[in-house]
C-alpha cells in the first residue's frame, strides 16, 4: 500500500497519511507523497480544496519516523532553503487546505497541520511539539505556532514538549472545531463543500491576502489588497457573482 493515499472527488482532493501500523509516522515515502499531492492540488484547475487526514482512528500522525529520518549521515551540502524530503511545497498551495485531525498530532504532524488553513479535530485528539525532549527542533512549527495561537500558549507547547488535548487546542485557537470521531470527515467535507460554492478566484486570492498581508506593514498590505482586487474584479466570475445575486439564483463560477 502507498504511504500516502490521494483521491479526488469532484472539486475536493483527499490526502491520507497511510502508515497506521506506526501511527502514520512520516518517512521519506510520506514526504514524497505529500509533495506530489500538494503539487497536484495546486495545479489541477478542477480542485478547489484539499483535505489532509490520517488513516485509522489513533493518529493523524505521530510525526517524523525518527528511526528512519534521524539515523542517516547528514552531508555538508544537506542544507537547502527548501527541502524536498519534507512537505514544504504545502506552503505554496494557493487553494485552501483543511486538516482533519484524528488522534495524535505530534511533532512534524503538528507542523503539517499548521500548513493547513482550517484545522478540525476529533475529541480523542492530542497535540504536542515534543522535539526538545530529544534535543531536536520543531522547525517550521516554531515559526508558525507563534502566529497561529497566543505567544504564551505557543511557547509552553514548544519549550515543555508536553501535550494538550482537543479541548485545550480549541480553547487556544489551534483548531476551530472539535467533533466526535464519527463526524470528523463529514464535518471536513461540509466545510470543503461550503468553500467550493464560492468564487474560486476570490477564495484563492483571499487566502493569499490573509497569509502574505499578515506579515506586512499595514500600508503595504493595503497596496497588496488593491493589486489583488484589480485581478479578481476583472475576472468573468466577478461579473457572474453580482448577476446571480440580482437574478436570485446560485452563481455558476468557472474560475476565470
Give 214-246 pLDDT, tens digit per residue: 888 999 989 989 988 888 888 888 887 888 888
Record the pTM: 0.90
Q: Is 123 a catalytic residue?
A: no
Give the Cα-Cα-Cα angle 116, 47, 198 (nearest 5 degrees): 80
Residues 184 and 118: beta-carbon distance below 8 Å: no
Closest CA to 97 of 122, 113, 117, 114: 117
Cα(45)–Cα(56) distance, integer angstroms = 30
Helices 236-246, 200-213: axis angle to 10 degrees equals 110
Query: In which element (H, E) is residue 185 found?
Result: helix 184-196
Same fold, 4-196 and 200-246: no
Q: Copy the grid coordinates of residue 91.
A: 506552503
CATH number of 200-246: 1.10.12
Cα(92)–Cα(122) distance, integer angstroms = 27
Q: Copy the grid coordinates of residue 237.
A: 466570475
pLDDT at residue 76, as a whole number: 46
Q: Is 131 a catalytic residue?
A: yes
How does residue 211 score in pLDDT terms, banded at 50, 70 and 90?
A: confident
In the chain, what percentage of residues exceed pLDDT 70?
Answer: 91
Q: Copy the grid coordinates of residue 79.
A: 542544507
Tens of pLDDT, residue by residue over 97-124, are 999 999 999 999 999 999 899 999 999 9
| Residue of 7, 111, 156, 240 marked catalytic | 111
Q: Provide the CATH topology of domain 4-196.
A: 2-enoyl-CoA Hydratase; Chain A, domain 1 (3.90.226)
pLDDT at residue 71, as a whole number: 52
Residues 125 and 53: beta-carbon distance below 8 Å: no
| Residue of 21, 77, 131, 247 marked catalytic | 131
pLDDT at residue 129, as a whole number: 95
Q: Compute CA distances 175 → 53, 100, 142, 185, whole Å.
A: 14, 10, 17, 15
Sequence ranges of the domains in the chain: 4-196, 200-246
Amino acid at each position: 500500500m502507498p504511504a500516502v493515499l490521494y483521491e479526488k472527488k469532484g472539486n475536493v482532493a483527499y490526502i491520507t497519511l497511510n502508515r497506521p501500523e506506526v501511527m502514520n509516522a512520516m518517512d521519506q515515502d510520506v514526504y514524497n507523497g505529500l509533495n506530489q499531492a500538494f503539487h497536484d492540488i495546486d495545479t489541477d484547475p478542477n480542485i478547489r480544496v484539499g483535505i489532509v487526514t490520517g488513516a485509522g482512528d489513533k493518529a493523524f500522525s505521530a510525526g517524523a519516523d525518527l528511526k528512519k529520518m534521524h539515523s542517516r549521515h547528514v552531508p555538508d551540502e544537506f542544507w537547502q532553503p527548501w527541502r524536498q524530503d519534507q512537505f514544504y511545497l504545502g506552503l505554496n498551495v494557493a487553494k485552501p487546505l483543511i486538516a482533519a485531525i484524528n488522534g495524535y498530532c505530534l511533532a512534524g504532524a503538528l507542523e503539517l497541520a499548521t500548513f493547513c488553513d482550517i484545522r478540525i479535530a476529533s475529541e480523542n485528539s492530542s497535540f504536542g511539539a515534543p522535539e526538545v525532549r530529544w534535543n531536536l527542533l520543531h522547525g517550521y512549527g516554531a515559526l508558525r505556532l507563534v502566529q497561529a495561537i497566543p505567544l504564551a500558549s505557543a511557547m509552553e507547547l514548544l519549550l515543555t514538549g508536553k501535550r494538550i488535548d482537543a479541548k485545550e487546542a480549541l480553547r487556544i485557537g489551534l483548531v476551530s472545531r472539535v467533533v466526535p470521531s464519527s463526524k470528523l470527515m463529514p464535518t471536513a467535507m461540509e466545510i470543503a463543500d461550503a468553500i467550493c460554492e464560492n468564487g474560486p478566484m476570490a477564495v484563492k486570492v483571499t487566502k493569499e491576502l490573509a497569509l502574505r498581508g499578515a506579515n506586512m506593514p499595514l500600508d503595504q498590505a493595503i497596496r497588496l489588497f488593491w493589486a489583488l482586487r484589480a485581478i479578481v474584479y476583472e475576472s468573468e466570475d466577478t461579473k457572474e457573482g453580482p448577476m446571480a445575486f440580482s437574478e436570485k439564483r446560485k452563481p455558476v463560477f468557472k474560475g476565470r
